[in-house]
Structure 1
Amino acid sequence: MSGSIVDFFTRIFAALGRGIGRLLAWLAWPFVALGRWYKHRGWIVRAVVGAVLLLFVGLYAYFFWQTQVWTGFNPDYVQAYDLTNRSVSAGEPVAATGDEGPRTCGRSAVADVAADLTDFNVNENAWISSMLLYKLGFFGLDWDDTPFFDNKASFQRGVNQAVRRTSVELVDALGRVRGTSQIDSDLQKARESIQFSEDAWYFGLSPFGPKTPTPSFYRTATASLRAFNDRLESCDAVFDARADNLIQFLDRIANDIGSTSAILRERSENYNSGWFDTRADDRFWFAYGQLYGYYGLLHAARADFEDVVAQRSLGSLWDTTENQLRAALNITPFIISNGREAGWIMPTHLATMGFYILRVRSNLVELRQVLDR
């Protein structure tokens, strides 16, 4: 009896070994055939092919490095701005001290943070979504449909979504007086640049021909935001730090993250493949990037609307909102799992992130209600 059991498992493992061997042979066959062809070519052909292969390997090494190393990533990045000690709203004249000098006004922390987040995306790091190898995918399969190399790209797109939403509000409301004054040219240029396609490379098929890559447009947006802030500091630009503008800004953020919450819910409810859901990671990291961006932008908005926050006694509630955002940034699992909510083996990171987003949104709605009284 024991011999039969041993024979049974021996046959099972032998069959598995043959299957794995055939799979490896099938995967290796193109490379073996290429090697045989390469050995029988002349030295010129071999030199050209070798150079192409070397370039190919180099590109993939660079691609691997850029997708895995997150330069400058810091969930506590808002502390570097030291905005808690600022006592002047954006655009408000700064009281002169000592000898009179040029008139100055408060800078916009929102514009500074938006510029720095974009700089973080395209200068401190490579913008992954427009890299050639990312666009080519994994043997033609979109990287977002695989569990590899797409986390940083999704995170960057989430951060960029927060900056895009903010750039619209800067142009339409914050950077002009009651919506009736002339649109600020620097803010308009920043909005146009940051709204550019996220995946443009140097050449495209639709339309066919050479293109300006995405990072160049985003660098222009960064420069335009900083140019606006320099003019604002010189009192040559406008930042309308009124309560109704803050209400509208909070509304837009709440709607934006509410949409992301719906995306997470749809994926969590309809797909429960646990660690094997290949789209769960890009959904998660997009939401994480969005909250990462809004954490800094809301912290900045509190400084820009310092008078409004103080007059309406919003300090405690604003602290709670920022604490909720910061708590969400503690969720950084090594592998993103989209399991069932009642499951006991595979966790459900999408539902967890969705829970934090809804808590933040609830705090934003409460802030808006207090401001609207």
Structure 2
Amino acid sequence: MSEQRKRVVVICPGRGTYTKETLGYLKPHRMNQVSFLADLDQRRSADQQPTVSELDNADQFSTNLHTKGENASVLIYACSYCDFAQLDRDQYEVVAITGNSMGWYLTLAIAGSLDWEGAYKVINTMGSMMKGGIVGGQVIYPMTDENWLPDYDRMELVEGLLREAYYMEEVEIYPSIFLGGYLVFGGNKPGLEFLMKSLPQVEHFPFQLVNHAAFHTPLLRETSEKAMQQISSSLFAKPKIPMIDGRGHIWKPFSTEIQDLYHYTLGHQVVAPYDFSAAVTVALKEFNPDQLILLGPGNTLGGSIGQILVQNQWKGITDKESFSTRQQQNPFLVSLGR
């Protein structure tokens, strides 16, 4: 039986994936994940926060409610966890898990480095850090052309703008996430204004992400320090399944040092760029999976993952068209949130 199973790498989504289109995502899972969802709801009630069930069962989607970090983080975690729990282990062998940005916290939970209590503590605490006011923000911008091939002129322009911004008073801009064919910037208000004014318009980009802070930049150093004060390393354990972090480093079940994992998660990962492209590239080259499985909610990472496959010329995928053709004939990327 095990020889017939597909070897898969599971990918956890990040912030911004629970949208108007995914409202009610948990309804099909309620019968199968009663204990898990009840546990989450109980913890949220104890913290005097809207429960996951209340948020998911809302009559309509509210940007002000559903996209706030203190609500979105746990809501996305619940959706991803339920999707993962539904995977048929007779059909799939999960060889590694990775994720984008907040998806690293979900990776820790799904791979077994955090139990239910620990996962809730980490995800809810980190998601609630901006409750008193969002620190900076994020702007996303494409670095490829319409065929998902590198646009070197655009890359050169962006590098020039970053150099220019470096010498400007009060302006702070940093690379935040390397997201396939996109670069996500993190910056303070003057930095974001500079980007929105200076980057040439490409379709609807540059685009500022709603209710996002300057994640994965030095602007969150204070957040990192607070996190280490509020979250104990005793919550962490060695993973049961290999994990790939935002540098492309692999954390293995037997060799993982828990203190190193703790300090990476609440230290480096918070204040330094998150290279999702590197994480997926390592997943491809080190584990050679039969498929990639993207957990829900939503499918917003689908394009970025496709672009990473193009960057690596993986299994004959050399541009957007060849990715689309492969997906129609024999999907390499399976998106559970579609």
TM-score by length of 2: 0.27
Query: Could you say which structure has the larger radius of gyration?
Result: 1
Structure with more of its chain in strand, by fraction: 2
